[in-house]
Structure 1
Amino acid sequence: MMSRRIHAMVLAGLLTGVSTIGAALPPPLPPLTESEVALKPAASRFTVDRAEHDFGTILDNEPKEVVFHFTNTGVEPLIIGEVKSTCGCTVPELVKKIYQPGEQGEVIVRYNPHGKRGNDARSVTLETNDSTQPSVKLNIKAHVKQLVVFEPTLLQFGQVDKGKGKTMEFYVAGRTEDFQVTLATTTMPDVFTVELGQTEVREIGIDKEQLRATRLIIKLREDAPVGMHTAELTMRTNDGRAPVERTQVLSQVLGDIQVTPPRISLGRIERGQSFTREFRVQSRSGQPFHISQIEARDTTADVSFEFMPEDAKNPTSWKVVMSGRAHPQERRILGQLLIRTDVRSEETIEVRYNGFINVGTEPGN
C-alpha cells in the first residue's frame, strides 16, 4: 500500500514537471524606443559643432582655413583613427587621436584653391570608434575666381597640314585697374610665335566678368616641322601678385607621312611585364616610301622594333611592332620614337609613347 502511494506521488511530480516545461515562455522584452535610445549613453560619441563650411567667393591665390570643433559626449574615450581628404588641395590637421569623455577637440582644415575655378567642394573623413557614426565627413566648399583669367583656357591648335600655319587669339585678364601683360615668349619659337596686342576691358571667364585683358596673337609657323608640338607660353604681368603666368600651347603638324595612332598608349603594365604594341606608318597621298630605322629615346624601358611594308610591291603603308620591358625601378614609361624615312622634309618622324606601371607588384617573367 505504501509502495503504491509513493509511485503515485512520483508520477504526480513527473506530470507536474512536464506541464511546467511545456508551459509558454514569458514574452520577449519590447525593443527600445527612439527616445530611450537617445537617453542611453554611447560608449564614445563624436559630436561636432557643424559638418560643413562655405568659404564663399575667393580668389585662387588665397589659401583658406577653417576649424571644426567637436566634443566626446560619450562615457568612454573617443579614438580617432585615419584622417583623410579627397584632394591634396585640402589638408586636415588633428592635434591628437584620443579624447576623454567630455573633452573637446578641433579639426583644422586648410584649403588651397590654386588651379581651381568655379564651384569647388571637398571633404575630410575621420574614422572613429563611435559606433553610431564610425565614419564622419566634414565638408567645405567655395566659389573660386582666378586672379588671372585665360580665354580660351587651353591653346590647342589641333591638327594642321604642313605648310598651312594657323593663328589664334588668346586673352589674359587681371583684376587691377591698370593690368596688362608686358612680355610673352614661347619655349619653341621655331614652331610658335607670340605678339602682344591691345589691352582693354572685356567680358571674360566663366563668370562673364568685365576685366582688363591683353590680347595675344599666337601663330603656328608655316614652316613648323611635322609632328606633335607642345610648348610653354610664359607671360609677365604688372600685377605683383601674379608676376609670371604660364600655360601650354599644343599642335600636331601633319605631313604626308601619318602615324596611327599619333601617340602610343601602353596603358597599365604589371611591374616587370613585357609589352607589345602595333601601329601603322602611312602615306596620306598614297605615295610609296621606305623606313630605314626606328630608334627610341627612353630611359624608362628597353624597347625594340620590327617594321615591314604591308605591300612589298607598293610600300605606302608600314606595320610596326614595338616590344619592350620597363625597368624594374620605374613607375612610368615615357619615351619618344624617331622614325627615319626617305621622304623629303620628313626624314624624321617623332612619336611619343607612355604607360603606367602598377606599383606593389613583383617583377614577372
Structure 2
Amino acid sequence: MRHITAFSAAFCLSLIATVANAQQWALDMVDSTDHDFGAVARGSDTVYKFEITNKYKEDVHIAGVSSSCGCTSPSIENNTIKTWEKAYVVAKFNTRTFTGLHSATLTVRIDQPFPAQIQLRVHGNIRGDVVFEPGSINFGTVDQGATPEVRSRVNFAGRSDWRIEDVKSESGDIEVELVERQRYAGSVNYDLVVRLKESASPGYLKHQLALITNDRNAPRIPLDVEGRVMPAISAAPENLQFGEVAVGETGSKRFLVRGKQPFKIAQIACDDDWFQFSTDENASDKHVVDVRFYAKEESGPVKRSIVVTTDQGETFKAVVTAYATVKPRPAAPSEAPDTTAPEASTASTATKKLAQD
C-alpha cells in the first residue's frame, strides 16, 4: 500500500511539473502580468494593453479572454500571431458603472499550437468625486505637421478649496492649457485644452497626462491622450520576413516608400552590414528599395531596423523592421559509394573469362 501511495504522489508531482512547463511557454510571451490603474476619475477612458509576442516558429492562436469582474472588460487585438508578431490583451476599466477599489483577473485561452492559459491581473481605484467630460483626449487620425486641439471638462464635487496645481506630461509632442471656469458651493470646474505640436512624430500617440491636485490622499489623477499621426513618408510592408537563411547564403526582399509629394531618398541606414540596399536617385512620390541579406557566421534570430531618410527633413522618414533566422552551414555531404566498374585485377575469374570470350 505504501508503494502505491508513493507512486501516486510521484505521479501527481510529475503531472504538476508537466502542466507548469506547458503553461510557461505561453507565459514567456507576455511582457507583464499585472497592471495598477491607480486612482482614476469617474468617466475616464482607462485602458491598458498587455503585449504578447510570438517567439516561436508555430502560429499562436488566442481562442478568447474572460474577466473575473464586471469592472473590467477584456478584448483581444490580433487573435492569430505569426512568428515575432504581436497581439494585445486590452483591459478596459469600467469607470462609468463602477466606483471605489476594484480588481480583476483576466484569463487568456490559447488553443494553438498547444492548449494553454495565461492569467493577467488589473486593479485600481475609481474616484466618484472627479469626472472627465470626455473621458480622454483623442486626436483621432491627423496628418503629420497638423496641430489639432481637444478640450476636456474636469468636474469636482466635494470641497470648495480643491484645485489642480499642475499638469504634467512626459511627452514632448503635446502642450496643455488649464483654465478654471467655476468654483461654487463645493463644486469646482476646469477646462483642459490639449494641443498637438507641429513637430509630433508619425505613429500612434499613447500618452498620459497627470493632473496634480492639492488632495493629499490622492494628489495624482491620470488622463489618457491618444491619436495617430499619419506620416508624410511611409513604407510597406513595415516588416520584412526573410525566414530561414543558412550561413553563407543570401536572401532578397523589397519594400515600397511612399510620400504625399515627390521626394528623394537621402540615406538608407541599418546598424548591421548584413544588409545591403539599392534604389533610384530620382525625385518621386514612390520608391522601390531592394534589400539583400547576407547570413554571416553567427546563427540564430536576427532583428534589425532599416531607417529611410529623405530630403524633406529629419522627421520625414520611414522605418522598416527586418527579421531572419540564420541557420548553421549545412554539413558537407557524405562520400558517395563507388559505383564504377571494378578494376580488372579485382574482377572474379568468371568475369575475366566472360570478358575474354
TM over 0.5: no
Normalized against structure 1, the TM-score is what?
0.41
User: Over alpha carbons, which structure has the higher Rg?
Assistant: 1
Normalized against structure 2, the TM-score is what?
0.42
